[in-house]
Amino acid sequence: MGLIVPKKRTEDVIQIAGAGPAGLAAAITLAHGGRQVIVHETQAQVGHRFGADLQGLENWSTEQDVLDMLRGLGLTTDFAAPPFERGTGFDAWGKRYDIVGKKPLFYMVERGPGPRTLDTALLEQARALGVEVRFNSRLDHVEGDAVLATGPKTADAIAVGYHFESDWDDGFWIIYDDNIAPKGYAYLLIMNGCGTVKSCMFTGFKQERQYVQRTVEAFQDLVGLEMKNPRPHGGAGNFRIPGRAISGAHLVVGEQAGFQDFLWGFGMRFAMVSGVLAARSLLEGESYDELWRRELGPQLWNGQINRAIYAALGNRGYRWFLNRNQTRRWDAHRFLHGLYQPWPLKRLLLPWARRRQRLRRKDASCDHLDCHCVWCRHGDHPVAVGLEEYGQRS
């Protein structure tokens, strides 16, 4: 039996630290349940660490469409979210592969404080329900019921590159090449005249500038990328399966808890679902740890296994994978859906995947001198120091 969170009197105010998707999803659910909520946000606006970043709301992990799922959870979908069924992949040898799904693979969304962004839509829904959102308000200590939704604690992956303007049609392009995005992928997204190009790397952070440069050059060679008004941008991602997602008496949600897709870093769904689960726990008295373990646990351990397999593949493995699926006239949506299902037999690989993750965190290349290494937790330097010059780290 896990901890049972007792029902509180409805006049108790619930404090939430962080106005990201996790914190706002929790606030909206609590307000729907008739509770008084105050959200504290350190920054002066929502989505500060993302600027006008473009991100994919993945649509393959569940049978149900992700926008229907959000509506079912009581969350707004009143943000710009064009569906993407097709795009282009490249292997390390520059060979091109069509990525085509019979259903939308993802919905592209804009992050940050702009007019039709995911963050603004959630903020407006929360406020319409009577939630008080206090900007420039850092919550460091709180008594009583609280939800901690403060984003990543440390960096297990970084995505670094540029935002820019473009007159290209909307689209997405991905390169699987450890020489430009070690153990990750490089991506180019365009929506409504805006673009982002990034190297999403899971190791080799010390060489991040080199990888970013190679990413930009690769997209220039492969698709003729042109960036108008490029602005550096980058951020970190945190992946963990926590023992418990409760700190003191407070419920921990989103990336602060480590909830994220281990394989490729799709964290928005985990953030919003965990926010809703934490709120339900406060409303209904069910143990939050039991709720997230039941609803998110299988996706988390499956993601950890996917990550270990992917990291072991290397460039030849990525190519084999792309080739194999291409020749079978694959439906990319179906393929990804299968990959994200926690088949019981797959669980046998979990001890191996955990060991791989532990080993990855011991960065053998770190000499601790002028250390920008975010794997090792030896120092008290800020996470991902090297990213600060990219301007958007909070």
Ligand X SMILES: Cc1cc2nc3c(=O)[nH]c(=O)nc-3n(C[C@H](O)[C@H](O)[C@H](O)COP(=O)(O)OP(=O)(O)OC[C@H]3O[C@@H](n4cnc5c(N)ncnc54)[C@H](O)[C@@H]3O)c2cc1C
With contact defined as beta carbons under 8 Å apart, do 278 and 15 qualify? no
Q: Quick check: 20 binds ligand X (CB under 6 A)?
A: yes
* 132 vs 221 by CB, closer to ligand X: 132
* 152 vs 319 by CB, closer to ligand X: 152
CA 25, CA 358: separation in Å to the nearest integer? 31
CA 129, CA 29: separation in Å to the nearest integer? 10
Q: Quick check: 260 binds ligand X (CB under 6 A)?
A: yes
Site map 269..298 versus ligand X, x via CB under 6 A: --x---------------------------
* 110 vs 177 by CB, closer to ligand X: 110
Q: Quick check: 99 binds ligand X (CB under 6 A)?
A: no
- Shortest distance, CB of residue 7 to ligand X, whole angstroms? 25
Q: Quick check: 241 binds ligand X (CB under 6 A)?
A: no
* 138 vs 355 by CB, closer to ligand X: 138
Which of 266, 258, 235 shows the shortest CA–CA distance to 53?
A: 235
Q: Quick check: 381 binds ligand X (CB under 6 A)?
A: no
Q: Locate 150 and state its tokens.
A: 């403060």
Enumerate the β-bridge partners of residue 222: none
Q: How far is CA 227 from CA 161, 162, 170, 351, in A?
A: 12, 9, 14, 44
Among 8, 36, 43, 317, binds ligand X (CB under 6 A): 43
| Total site size for ligand X, rule CB under 6 A | 36
With contact defined as beta carbons under 8 Å apart, do 234 and 387 qualify? yes
Q: Quick check: 104 binds ligand X (CB under 6 A)?
A: no
Q: Quick check: 91 binds ligand X (CB under 6 A)?
A: no
Q: How far is CA 123 from CA 111, 113, 150, 315, in A?
A: 12, 9, 16, 42
Would you tell me how many other CB atoms lie within 10 Å of the CB of residue 9?
A: 5
Among 89, 104, 114, 254, binds ligand X (CB under 6 A): 254
Q: Quick check: 235 binds ligand X (CB under 6 A)?
A: yes
CA 177, CA 98: separation in Å to the nearest integer? 17
Which of 257, 177, 230 shows the shortest CA–CA distance to 52?
A: 230
Which of 42, 283, 307 shows the shortest CA–CA distance to 151?
A: 42
Q: Locate 359 and state its tokens.
A: 């080993």
Q: Quick check: 240 binds ligand X (CB under 6 A)?
A: no
CA 152, CA 154: separation in Å to the nearest integer? 6
Site map 129..148 versus ligand X, x via CB under 6 A: ---------xxx--------
- Shortest distance, CB of residue 149 to ligand X, whole angstroms? 5
* 184 vs 235 by CB, closer to ligand X: 235
- Shortest distance, CB of residue 277 to ligand X, whole angstroms? 13
Among 89, 101, 104, 237, binds ligand X (CB under 6 A): 237
CA 81, CA 78: separation in Å to the nearest integer? 9
**Footprint of ligand X (CB under 6 A):** 17-23, 40-43, 48-49, 53, 55-56, 138-140, 149-151, 159, 235-237, 254-256, 260, 265-268, 271, 394
